[in-house]
Structure 1
Amino acid sequence: MSTILAFDFGEARIGVAMGSTELGIAHPLETIATVETDKRFARIEALITQWQPTLFVVGLPLGIDGEEQLASRLARKFASRLTGRFGLPVTLVDERYTSKSASMALDDTGLRGRRQKPVLDQVAAMQILQAHFDQIAEQGGAR
């Protein structure tokens, strides 16, 4: 069994989720709400120490047509920095519609509007990681 940390990268906030390969179920973890790179990576380092992941999954924001955009390049840069700093592999996962889907899921729990802000990104990260697990399961391979 190994742990995976997933990230919904944003310029203002980074949502973080985790899951184990044994269960193949993702869970929201936290939102890193700072724009300061050093503080972001210090918090990520603390999460790595705590959870000991073997893989990172990063959401890749694509346009509706599947084309890359500025946010895609920023997510790729973030993924590259993760690998460079922590030496773990990164898998990129198409994250189209995850923020909207996360918002709808939170609506269903009764958490609406501005009250979603503190958890929206981590729920989006959870959906990104769950998409990774689901894709692996569909392929019939190991997580």
Structure 2
Amino acid sequence: MISVLGLDLGRKRIGVAGCDRLGQLATGITTIQRRNFASDVAQLRQICQERGVEKLIVGLPYTLDGQLGSQARQVQHLAEKIGAALNLPVEYMDERLTSFQAEEILKQRRRSPRHHKDLVDQIAAALILQQWLDARSQAAKATLAPADPQL
């Protein structure tokens, strides 16, 4: 399993998530308070070096009807710049409703999403990465399944 980092890129914060060595479980790592591009990349570079990251998985905020809106294009542009600065490939996952799901998870934990925005971003990044891990796992299972059910 290659080492990957999940990112929820926002205007004010970047939620960061990683996964276990088996690539089965994503967890939030940190939330970066955005200051400027150089500072953001420096913090991400440190995390990537510590974890031996080989690929970035970035949430792409499609519109509810599945289109790439202006926000998604902005995220794509930023992700490409970050990937180039870190010399890492970038892969995108649909992040529709992950922030809503993250807020619901916090509410279940009796925490206010309004007062824990950094946790919302971390959880959203973990949800994005988990979605990627699950899709990769399903694809691997489909590849390993015998073509003839009688085998």
Taking structure 2 as the reference length, the TM-score comes to 0.87
Deviation sequence 1:43-83 (CA, Å, 0-9, x none): 01111111111111000001000111121011111221122
Note the C-alpha offset of 1:18: 0.5
CA distance in 2, matches of 1:56, 1:24: 16
Note the C-alpha offset of 1:21: 5.3
Contact 1:31 1:118 in 2 (8 A): yes
For structure 1, the residue ranges without an aligned partner over 5 or more in a row are none
Structure 1 residues 113 and 127, CA, compared in 2 at 3 Å: closer, same or farther? closer
For structure 2, the residue ranges without an aligned partner over 5 or more in a row are 144-151
SS across alignment from 2:54: strand
* Identity percentage of aligned residues: 29
**CA RMSD for the aligned pairs?**
1.6
Contact 1:2 1:20 in 2 (8 A): no
SS across alignment from 1:135: helix
Aligned length: 142
Q: Which amino acid aligns with 2:127?
A: Q
Equivalent residues in 2 for 1:90-109 (5 A)?
Answer: 90-109=90-109
State the partner residue of 1:46: 46
Q: Which amino acid aligns with 1:65?
A: D
Contact 1:24 1:133 in 2 (8 A): yes
State the partner residue of 2:149: none
Contact 1:7 1:15 in 2 (8 A): yes
Taking structure 1 as the reference length, the TM-score comes to 0.92
Aligned: 1:74 with 2:99: no
The runs of 4+ residues in structure 1 deviating greater than 3 Å are none
